[in-house]
Amino acid sequence: MFGFENPNIKRYLSRKKLSTDEKIAEFAAQLSPFLPDNTADYVATFLIENVVHFTVSKKRKTKLGDYRHPYNGKPHRISVNGDLNPYSFLITTLHEMAHLTTYEKYGNRVKPHGVHWKTEFKSIADPILNKVALPIDVAMALNNYLRNAKASSCSDDKLYRVLKRYDKNKGITLEELEIGDLFKLHGKIFVKGKKLRTRFECVEDATNKKYRVLGLAEVDKIESN
C-alpha cells in the first residue's frame, strides 16, 4: 500500500514550492499508470483542490475503494485498489469522489448511496463521459449505470461484465462452475447451488449456511477426489 500525498497539504508544501499547474501535473503523472488516457489531470485536479490524501491499496476482498471524511485534523482520504484495470480504477475513484462532495454538501445527514450521492456521482462522471474517448462498451455501460448507481460497480451485472473484459489476469468465475462444485471464496469453502438472477445460492461447507454469491465472483475451484 502506498499513498499519494496531495500537494496542497502543508507538509508537502514545506518541501516543494510549486504552482498549481505544476502540482496538478506532478500528481497526474503519479496517477496516470492506474487510469485510462486523458483522465489523470481531471482526477488530480479534484484531489488537489479538495485536499485529499489518496492511497493506492493492495487488493482487498471486501471492497474496491473507500472514502473517509476529515477528522482530528486529518484531510479527506480516498483509497482505491491498485490491482484494478484502468477503467475499474477510474470508476471506483469517481465513486469515492462523489462520496466526498456529498459529505461536503450534506455531512452525515443523507444515505451513503442515496439519491444525493447518485446525483453527485453523475455530476462528477459527466465530464469524463463528455470529453474522454472511453471504449464504447465502457461508456455505454457507465451511462446506463449512472441512471441508478448502486453501492458498487460489482452490484451492476452489465457494468461489471464490461469492466471484466479489460482485466489482464482473469480468474475462474462462479458462473463457470457446475451446480454442486466445491469452491473457495474469502477463505471459506462453499458448494455451488441454484441460480437466483445474477447470484447463486451457495452453501458454506462447514456450517451449512446459505449465501447468495455473485455469478461473476472470482473463486478457486476445489477439485473433488
The whole-number pLDDT of residue 225 equals 64
The whole-number pLDDT of residue 223 equals 86
The whole-number pLDDT of residue 151 equals 73
Mean pLDDT by 10 residues, the chain (225 residues): 48 60 90 96 96 91 90 94 96 96 95 94 96 94 89 79 89 92 94 92 96 90 82
Measured distance CA(111)–CA(81) in Å, rounded: 24
Measured distance CA(16)–CA(64) in Å, rounded: 32
First-to-last CA distance in the chain? 39
pLDDT tens string 114-150: 999 999 999 999 999 999 999 999 999 999 999 888 7
3-state SS assignment for residue 145: helix
The whole-number pLDDT of residue 13 equals 40
Radius of gyration over alpha carbons of the chain, in Å? 20
3-state SS assignment for residue 124: helix
